[in-house]
């Protein structure tokens, strides 16, 4: 009976204790269980970001190809102008075997007596025909001479004061097909844009600014790099990362009205993050096997899951942890700076190491912490297109 009375007294005393601590977070947890909120789906956000990135890459590729096409056309026309200006010199001197002249075909100069070519009079040349001059004695390179449309050789020879014959009119008689059929096409350096796919792993040390402590974190993912010139390129992708860090409670600033009865001493955070970078890279050095590039840009953090653990200096047993899922997205909230060292294995494969820093432009996560990371990204890079010429 005594044991039963002790149990009754124990429950009586506990029920009469007025000091029952009020914990708002417990009520919030109970409310969430009674009225569960529909969780935000992160997959559509990721897919939309990926689709937007791919669309941007396609637009850039289209613009680059259009720009290259215009450059090639201009260069081809400039080359034809140069040929006409430099190569059509009609003065007295040499002689051409008249029997070897055929409409639309090349003829050979069998003898050279001066710095010019004396065309046989009385012959009519059609548009697109040419004369090939080759000094067989000195083995000079052959020179193709484009003849004006329907030009009479008699008229050309008599006009001795003009060394270059109306090249603008000559160009008017040419078309793209004639340029393409030329035996000596324009020597244009055409560089195709390259798209490089990278698989990377990036260990880092993550910390809250001014906390003085860092924790080992890291991530892995895929990136795509599009070259827009010989030295300039753009990189984007998606990296799944773990952000683990410890900080003083004073650096923890959540947007909530809840007030801890006794403030925790420290916060330990373990967060799952999708990092979507958008970087611009500039190549400062390159040889056959190695290259060095500097990069800068911005990252968007999509916070998938955030776990916070609280520790106290006193014996007070307050809230121990708190968890947030899919509630915080920080678009272009982190600045990126990096220096990449690349080594070429073959035409398709490169490996690289990239020391980097990620600096916060805004508070990150539920705790609005100024989260920064320093690490090295190691990647295997695969060139999806053939190397441009």
Dump pLDDT digits (tens) for 22-69. Answer: 666 666 666 666 655 544 444 444 445 555 655 655 555 455 455 555
Q: What is the pTM of this model?
A: 0.54
Higher pLDDT, 99 or 252: 252
Rounded CA-CA distance 9/15 in Å is 10
Mean pLDDT, residues 141-161: 41
> Mean per-residue pLDDT for 120-126?
39
CATH 2.40.160.20 spans which residues of the chain? 192-383
Residue 154 pLDDT greater than 50, yes or no: no
Residue 344 contacts residue 290 (beta carbons within 8 Å): yes
Which pLDDT score, from 0 to 100, does residue 256 have? 84
Q: Which of 78-82, 99-103, 224-228, 353-357 has the lowest mean pLDDT?
A: 99-103
Which pLDDT tens digit goes with each residue over 344-380?
999 899 999 999 999 999 999 999 999 999 999 999 9
- For the ranges 44-58, 207-221, 301-315, which has the lowest average pLDDT? 44-58
pLDDT band of residue 314 (cuts 50, 70, 90) is confident
Q: Which CATH number fits domain 192-383: 2.70.70.10, 3.40.50.720, 2.40.170.20, 2.40.160.20?
A: 2.40.160.20
Closest listed residue to residue 88, CA positions, set 125, 53, 34, 45: 125
Q: Which residue has the higher pLDDT, 268 or 144?
A: 268
- Please state, rounded to an integer, the average pLDDT across all residues of the chain: 70
pLDDT at 51: 58
* Res. 335: pLDDT tops 70: yes
Mean pLDDT of 375-389: 81
- Report CA Rg, the chain: 38
Please state, in angstroms and rounded to a whole number, the distance separating the CA atoms of residues 213 and 283.
34
In the DSSP assignment, the letter for residue 347 is: S
Strands (E), the chain: 95-96, 109-111, 130-133, 143-146, 195-208, 215-227, 232-248, 266-286, 290-311, 321-344, 349-360, 371-383
The residue-averaged pLDDT of 136-157 equals: 41
Of the ranges 11-15, 188-192, 314-318, the best mean pLDDT one: 314-318
Q: Do the Cβ atoms of 252 and 263 come closer than 8 Å?
A: no
Asked if residue 87 has pLDDT above 60, the reply is no
Of 130, 37, 46, 38, give the one whose Cα is nearest residue 80: 130
pLDDT at 315 (0 to 100): 79
Residue % of the chain over a pLDDT of 90: 38
Which residues fall within 8 angstroms of residue 296, CB to CB, at 6 or more apart?
279, 280, 335, 336, 337, 338
- What does the pLDDT read at residue 24? 62
Assess whether pLDDT exceeds 80 at residue 247: yes
Residue 343: pLDDT above 60?
yes
258-266 mean pLDDT:
86
Mean pLDDT throughout 122-130? 40
Average pLDDT over residues 86-95: 38
Whether the pLDDT of residue 149 is over 60: the answer is no
């Amino acid at each position: 009976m005594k044991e039963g009375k002790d149990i009754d007294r124990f429950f009586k005393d506990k029920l009469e204790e007025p000091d029952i601590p009020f914990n708002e977070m417990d009520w919030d947890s109970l409310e969430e269980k009674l009225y569960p909120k529909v969780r935000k789906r992160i997959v559509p956000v990721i897919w939309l970001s990926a689709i937007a990135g791919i669309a941007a890459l396609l637009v850039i590729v289209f613009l680059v190809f259009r720009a290259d096409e215009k450059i090639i056309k201009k260069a081809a026309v400039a080359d034809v102008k140069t040929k006409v200006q430099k190569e059509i010199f009609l003065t007295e001197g040499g002689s051409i075997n008249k029997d070897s002249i055929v409409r639309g075909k090349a003829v050979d100069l069998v003898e050279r007596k001066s710095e010019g070519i004396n065309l046989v009079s009385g012959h009519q040349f059609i548009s697109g025909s040419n004369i090939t001059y080759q000094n067989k004695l000195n083995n000079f390179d052959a020179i193709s001479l484009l003849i004006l449309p329907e030009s009479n050789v008699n008229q050309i020879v008599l006009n001795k004061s003009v060394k270059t014959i109306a090249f603008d009119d000559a160009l008017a008689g040419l078309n793209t097909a004639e340029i393409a059929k030329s035996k000596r096409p324009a020597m244009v350096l055409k560089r195709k844009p390259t798209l490089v796919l990278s698989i990377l792993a990036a260990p880092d040390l993550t910390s809250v600014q001014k906390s003085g402590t860092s924790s080992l974190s890291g991530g892995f993912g895929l990136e795509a790099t599009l070259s827009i010139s010989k030295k300039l390129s753009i990189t984007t992708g998606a990296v799944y990362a773990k952000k683990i860090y410890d900080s003083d409670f004073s650096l923890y600033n959540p947007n909530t009205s809840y007030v801890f009865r006794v403030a925790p001493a420290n916060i330990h955070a373990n967060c799952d993050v999708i990092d979507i970078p958008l970087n611009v890279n500039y190549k400062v050095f390159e040889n056959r096997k190695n290259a060095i590039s500097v990069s800068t840009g911005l990252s968007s953090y999509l916070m998938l899951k955030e776990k916070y653990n609280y520790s106290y200096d006193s014996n007070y047993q307050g809230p121990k942890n708190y968890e947030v899922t899919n509630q915080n997205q920080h678009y272009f909230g982190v600045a990126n700076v990096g220096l990449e060292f690349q080594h070429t294995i073959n035409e398709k494969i490169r490996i690289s190491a990239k020391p980097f820093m990620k600096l916060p432009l805004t508070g990150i996560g539920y705790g609005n912490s100024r989260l920064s990371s320093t690490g090295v990204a190691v990647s295997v890079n695969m060139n999806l297109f053939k190397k441009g010429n």
